[in-house]
């Protein structure tokens, strides 16, 4: 089967890489020339563990291009372009433009929408292109994207002849939900909103723990998570959810629901609780730091990625700068320069620079530096260090000493 993948970001590149590694003939297209040039030179434009090994493997049959012309002979074309949030609503223009470009050249293919889109989008694209459109949302986690795409918890496909796409993913041996376009589209939003709600829920309980001597959210969450009805995943208190998905997807589904006169109160509250996390962290820092010179560990929105979209850490750094803090920062993979802050080359340099240390991203690597932080003032916004080992420790969800 001849496959095309449109949009070679975190989702498209992994989809293209995994399918070509499985033996499919894949053409990947992106409008970003830099990306294509890098890929042609066997270099990845993003950081994603394990992706290089599969995408540039001799086993993979994959061709990268900037030209939609190259999609003329493709039978199945996955669309994995951005669906950003504009004024809290989903911006479908990238999906629409990509679909129109495909249909102007290829009248026989099936379009598969892998981007996260609100219910009704596949039908809209069908109307615009006269092509069959199958919905196949992606559930992978950045940082684990290759593993998740090879071993997904489930395959969700919707629309006419959706079995074609279910068959493409059959090698994963994962359970498949074959349904309508609209169900498939909504499953993605309901899943992301539920996970975001779980995070906001545990962050609210963390706020409560901070007021109760003897309470620790880590223990409370562990005790809750052992109940299989609750589960231990996404029950980690911290600085809140960021990244390219949860913030925009929760807003998109809430405003989509509003357009149908339905109020998603829980989702809206989850967003509000999340939005309060930065100010909450600022208060902790103001109360605990010895002065305004501060070292922040972590910039990525979570561990194992270079993605800083909607990163809470980045937002916190900007808020600190706005409040006249002198910020030094370090991230193992994000090399972005932040205006009015100093980027350290190593974690050791960052820790040595100031008395006040903030842990903002949960990179496991930072645990290795616990010993050299023992005598510092540590504000652990991700609860990754052992609070008993650090003299001056303040952590999210940790109550006053009883």
Interface residues with ligand NAD (CB under 6 A)?
Answer: 6-12, 29-32, 35, 80-83, 94, 97-98, 115-116, 138, 140, 142, 244-245
Minimum CB distance to ligand NAD smaller for 234 or for 342: 234
Contacts of residue 225, Cβ cutoff 8 Å, sequence gap at least 6: 231, 232, 233, 235
Minimum CB distance to ligand NAD smaller for 188 or for 353: 188
Residue 7: C-alpha distances to residues 23, 30, 141, 384 (Å):
20, 5, 17, 35
CA distance 251 to 375: 42
CA distance 76 to 26: 10
**Smallest separation, CB 132 to ligand NAD (Å):** 20
Minimum CB distance to ligand NAD smaller for 22 or for 191: 191
**Smallest separation, CB 251 to ligand NAD (Å):** 12
CA distance 278 to 344: 23
Active-site residue list = 245
CA distance 155 to 149: 10
Minimum CB distance to ligand NAD smaller for 142 or for 362: 142
**Smallest separation, CB 81 to ligand NAD (Å):** 4
User: Token digits for 351?
Assistant: 């820790």
**Smallest separation, CB 105 to ligand NAD (Å):** 12
Q: Percentage helix, strand, coil, to 5, in the chain?
A: 45, 15, 40
How long a stretch of residues is the chain?
Answer: 402
CA distance 73 to 75: 7
Q: Which residue is nearest to ligand NAD (CB)?
A: 9
Minimum CB distance to ligand NAD smaller for 306 or for 331: 306
- Quote the Cα angle for 267-271-274, to 5°: 135
**Smallest separation, CB 298 to ligand NAD (Å):** 18
């Amino acid at each position: 089967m001849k496959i095309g993948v449109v949009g070679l970001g975190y989702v498209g590149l992994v989809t293209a890489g995994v399918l070509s590694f499985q033996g499919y003939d894949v053409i990947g297209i992106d409008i970003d020339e830099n990306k294509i040039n890098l890929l042609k030179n066997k270099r990845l434009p993003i950081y994603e563990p394990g992706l290089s090994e599969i995408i540039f493997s001799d086993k993979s049959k994959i061709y990268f291009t900037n030209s939609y012309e190259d999609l003329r002979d493709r039978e199945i074309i996955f669309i994995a372009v951005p669906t950003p949030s504009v004024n809290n609503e989903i911006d479908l223009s990238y999906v629409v433009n990509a679909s129109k470009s495909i249909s102007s050249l290829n009248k026989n293919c099936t379009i598969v929408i892998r981007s996260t889109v609100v219910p009704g989008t596949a039908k809209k694209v069908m109307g615009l292109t006269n092509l069959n459109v199958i919905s196949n949302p992606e559930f992978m986690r950045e940082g684990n994207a290759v593993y998740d795409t090879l071993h997904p918890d489930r395959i969700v496909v919707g629309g006419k002849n959706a079995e074609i796409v279910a068959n493409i993913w059959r090698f994963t041996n994962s359970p498949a939900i074959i349904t309508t376009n609209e169900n498939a589209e909504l499953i993605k939003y309901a899943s992301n909103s539920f996970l975001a709600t779980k995070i906001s829920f545990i962050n609210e309980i963390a706020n409560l723990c901070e007021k109760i001597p003897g309470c620790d959210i880590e223990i409370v969450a562990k005790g809750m998570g052992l109940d299989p009805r609750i589960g231990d995943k996404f029950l980690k208190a911290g600085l809140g959810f960021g990244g390219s998905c949860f913030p925009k997807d929760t807003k998109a589904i809430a405003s989509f629901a509003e357009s149908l006169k339905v109020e998603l109160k829980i989702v809206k509250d989850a967003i509000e609780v999340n939005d309060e996390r930065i100010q909450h962290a600022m208060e902790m820092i103001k109360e605990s730091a010895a002065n305004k010179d501060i070292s922040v560990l972590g910039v990525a929105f979570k561990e194992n990625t270079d993605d800083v979209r909607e990163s809470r850490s980045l937002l916190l750094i900007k808020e600190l700068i706005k409040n006249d803090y002198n910020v030094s920062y370090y991230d193992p993979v994000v090399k972005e320069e932040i205006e009015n802050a100093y980027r350290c080359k190593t974690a050791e340099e960052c820790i040595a620079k100031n008395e006040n240390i903030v842990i903002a991203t949960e990179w496991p690597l930072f645990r290795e530096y616990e010993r050299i932080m023992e005598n510092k003032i540590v504000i652990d916004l991700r609860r990754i260090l052992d609070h008993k080992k650090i003299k001056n420790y303040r952590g999210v969800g940790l109550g006053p000493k009883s």
